[in-house]
Structure 1
Amino acid sequence: MPMQDARQKLTWISCHFNEMTPHHVYSLLKLRQQIFIIEQECIFPEIDGLDPLCDHIIALNGNDVLAAVRIVGPGIDPDHVEQGDRSAIGRVVASENLRGQGIGRQLMLRAIDHCGQRFPGKAIYLNAQLHLKTFYEGLGFVQFGNAYEEDGIPHICMERPAPAEG
C-alpha cells in the first residue's frame, strides 16, 4: 500500500517483486546499475535471480524509483550460508541527489520494520560496506567476523539480533 512522505515528496511502497509494475522494475534495476556498477565501479551479476523471490521497499517519485532495499527471507539465498536462519536486507540503494537527507535511515527503518512484521522473532543479516559500519550500528546492527573485500570494497557481516520475547 503506497504511503506519501511529504518531506521528501516520495511515495513508499512495500511489496513483493510480483506486485511491482514493469516500470518500477525497470527503474529499480536502472538505479541499482547506476549506483553499484557505474558509480561504485563494481562489475558483478547484479541481476542474480533473487529479486523475484524477495520483498522490496521502494521510494518513488512518480514512477521513478529513487531509493530501495531488497529483503531476502530466511533460507532463500543458497549462496550466502552465513545468512543462516535470518532475514536479510540487501541491495540498499539511494539516488545520489537524495543522499545526506536522511533517506538511508528512513529506508533502513522501513526495512527493519518490514522484516519484523514478515519474519517475527528472526534476526536480520546484512553485508555492509565497512565505511557504513557506524550508520548500521546506530540501527542496532553488530559486526560479526572479520572485514573482507567484495568487488574491491571492504565489507563486514552484521546482524541485528531478534527482539527479546516478553
Structure 2
Amino acid sequence: MENNIVVRKVSDPAALEKVFAIRRIVFVGEQNCPPELEWEHEDESTHFLATVNDEPAGACRWRKTENGYKLERFAVLKEFRGQGVGQELVRTVLADLPEDASYVYLNAQIDAIGLYQKFGFKKVGAQFEEAGIQHFKMER
C-alpha cells in the first residue's frame, strides 16, 4: 500500500497542537532538548503539519528574521522516517516562502544535511552545537 503524504500550512489550535506534540516527542523526548529552548517564536512562525494516510507524521516551520527566511523545527516521528515525509516538508515549505525570500537558511542537524543538500542548501561556516546537538548552518 502506498503512503499518502500530505503537508499543509496550519494555524488552527487543533492542528497546531499536533505540530507541537510531534516536536515534543522528537526534540524533547528523543533528543533531550530542553523544553524552554524548543518553544520560542511560535506566534511569528508559519507552521506545517505532515500526515501519512491522515496520521500526524511530521512538522516544521519558517519565519522571517532580520537575516532572511529561516526554516526550522523539522521533525518526523520515528515510525514515519525513511518514507519521504522530510522531503515533502522541505518541498512544501520552500514553495510557501514569499517571492522576496532571496536569502533562505537553516541550522541542520548533522544527520539531516543530506536532505537539505537535495534542495540546493550548502553548508557555511564551522560545525556548532545547539541544544546539545551538532549542527551546520546551511544556506540556499
Please tell me the residue identity of whatever aligns with 1:47: W
Higher-RCO chain (CA-CA 8 Å, sequence separation at least 6): 2
With the length of structure 2 as denominator, give the TM-score of the two structures.
0.87
Letter in 2 for 1:123: Y
Contact persistence 1:13–1:58 (CA under 8 A): yes
What is the alpha-carbon distance in structure 1 between the residues aligned to residue 54 and residue 80 of structure 2? 16
Describe the SS at the equivalent of 1:155: strand
CA RMSD of aligned residues (A): 2.1
TM-score (norm 1): 0.74
Q: Secondary structure at the match of 1:53?
A: coil
Runs (5+) with no aligned partner, structure 2: none
d(CA) in 2 for partners of 1:140, 1:22: 33
The alpha-carbon deviation at position 106 of structure 1 amounts to 1.0
Aligned to 1:35: 26
Provide the rounded CA distance (Å) in 2 between the counterparts of 1:123 and 1:133.
Answer: 18
Separation of aligned partners in 2, 1:62 and 1:104: 15
Q: What is the CA distance between 1:72 and its match in structure 2?
A: 0.6
The CA distance in 1 between the partners of 2:27 and 2:101, in whole Å, is: 31
- Report the CA distance between 1:132 and its aligned residue: 2.1
Structure 1, unaligned runs of 5 or more: 1-6, 76-83, 161-166
Q: 1:11 to 1:137 in 2, by over 3 A?
A: closer
- Greater Rg, structure 1 or structure 2? 1
2:134 maps to 1:154: yes
Contact 2:47 2:59 in 1 (8 A): yes
Matched, 1:14 2:5: no
**Residues 99/138 of structure 1: CA separation in 2 closer, same or farther (3 Å cut):** same
